[in-house]
């Protein structure tokens, strides 16, 4: 029996987003006229790993994603992850305590 780990089982919505991200990386590579082998060599990983990234497979580490983005000169895109956390900010605002005024001294 095989182990069911988080790396292999993902929600469908997340799988779709990973696939889109992989396609976007593939298109960026093709626009630069680079082969998978060239990107792999520059990112110090295997061509198979680059192919897995382009398929959006969740088993590739984020560090390798970062190296591939660096090769494609897209490393600043990493800073966009969780940049606009509207839900988190709303929750934070709800939990802020309201300032209370001091009672009036007579």
Residue 46: which CATH number?
A: 1.10.260.40
Query: Average per-residue pLDDT in the chain?
Result: 89
Q: Would residue 7 count as lying in a domain?
A: no
**Res 11 pLDDT > 80:** yes
Looking at residue 106, its pLDDT comes to: 66
Looking at residue 50, its pLDDT comes to: 98
Least confident of 42-51, 66-75, 85-94: 85-94
Looking at residue 1, its pLDDT comes to: 43
Which residue carries 């660096």 as its tokens? 70
Q: Would residue 98 count as lying in a domain?
A: no
* pLDDT average, residue stretch 50-69: 96
* pLDDT average, residue stretch 59-71: 96
Task: Transcribe 31-100 into DSSP letters.
Answer: HTT--HHHHHHHTTS-HHHHHHHHHT-TTS-HHHHHHHHHHTT-GGGGGGTT---HHHHHHHHHHSPPP-
Q: Would residue 1 count as lying in a domain?
A: no
pLDDT band at 77 (very low <50, low <70, confident <90, very high): very high
The number of residues in the chain equals: 106
Do 59 and 52 contact (CB within 8 A), yes or no?
A: yes
Element (H, E) at 25: helix 12-31
Looking at residue 99, its pLDDT comes to: 66
Query: Residue 33 is part of which domain span?
Result: 12-76
pTM of the model: 0.78
What's the number of CA atoms in the CB half-sphere (13 Å) around residue 41?
A: 5
């Amino acid at each position: 029996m095989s182990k069911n780990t988080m790396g292999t089982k993902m929600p469908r919505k997340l799988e779709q987003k990973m696939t889109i991200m992989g396609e976007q990386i593939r298109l960026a590579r093709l626009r630069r006229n680079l082969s998978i082998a060239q990107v792999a060599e520059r990112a110090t990983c295997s061509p198979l790993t680059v192919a897995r990234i382009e398929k959006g497979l969740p088993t590739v580490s984020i560090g390798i994603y970062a190296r591939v983005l660096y090769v494609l000169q897209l490393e600043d895109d990493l800073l966009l992850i969780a940049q606009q956390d509207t839900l988190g900010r709303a929750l934070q605002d709800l939990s802020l305590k309201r300032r209370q005024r001091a009672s009036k001294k007579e």
